[in-house]
Each structure stands twice: as C-alpha cells, then as structure tokens.
Structure 1
C-alpha cells in the first residue's frame, strides 16, 4: 500500500476541516466542519536492506531522521 511508511508504519489520519468566518467578523466563529484526511508525505526511496538494493515507501520524517540507508 503506497500510503503507508515501510519504516514507521505512518498512515493517513482523519480529522476535520474547520471553516471559520473572515478576519472582519466580530468573532472568529466556526462556520462549518467537514471530514478530511491528513496524508503523510510518502516518497519512494532506493535503499539497502540486508545488503540488497530495495525500493521502499518511506515518509520524509524517516528520511530526515536517517532511518533509511540510501543506495
């Protein structure tokens, strides 16, 4: 599955998209809520796993943390 990190198992999270009134409104009231999906930034990386080059789907936080040895 392409939306999941192979290293840390990070996957899409669900939440709300909150629409608020504009900056000239008397109060910053919430106008409405709708469901949305927060997707992780998944990149395809050529990495070395057990001495063999492999293609992995890895999130950018794992790449920045150095959890992947790139080929």
Structure 2
C-alpha cells in the first residue's frame, strides 16, 4: 500500500531517535494512512489512501 496521502501529500520522513544516554539511531516518522472510499471532485466514487488527519479535518467527502 502506498505510504503517501492522496489529499495532502503527507509522506514518511526520516529522523533520529535519541535515548536518555544520547545514543542515536535512525527512525521513520510514518503518517497514519488508511484506505477509504471517497467521492472525488468529479463526483466519482473510488478508493483512496488518505491520512487520518485529513479525515478528521473533513478534507475528504466519504461515500
């Protein structure tokens, strides 16, 4: 499944985890992507990969 939101374009970002003893390891910040049924701008019903923050903000019209 795609890791990119089709509404806002949010995608995974690399970063670093730093422990209490300041040991550093690489990590990924991944968006919470869900496959939902939406109604697009043309009025067609289709499935799309959308992040949960877009769903909560009401940026997509659920079908």
TM over 0.5: yes
Please show how residues 42-61 of structure 1 align to structure 2 within 5 Å: 42-49=33-40, 50-61=42-53
Q: Name the residue aligned to 2:25.
A: 34
Structure number with greater Rg is 1
Residue ranges of structure 2 left out of the alignment (5+ in a row): none
SS at match of 2:19: strand
Between the aligned partners of 1:38 and 1:51, the Cα distance in structure 2 is: 33
* Cα distance, 1:45 vs structure 2: 0.8
* Cα distance, 1:15 vs structure 2: 0.5
Q: Paired residues, what number?
A: 62
> TM-score w.r.t. structure 1 length?
0.82
* Cα distance, 1:35 vs structure 2: 0.7
Task: Give runs of ≥4 in structure 1 deviating > 6 Å.
Answer: none
Decide which structure has greater strand share.
1
> TM-score w.r.t. structure 2 length?
0.92
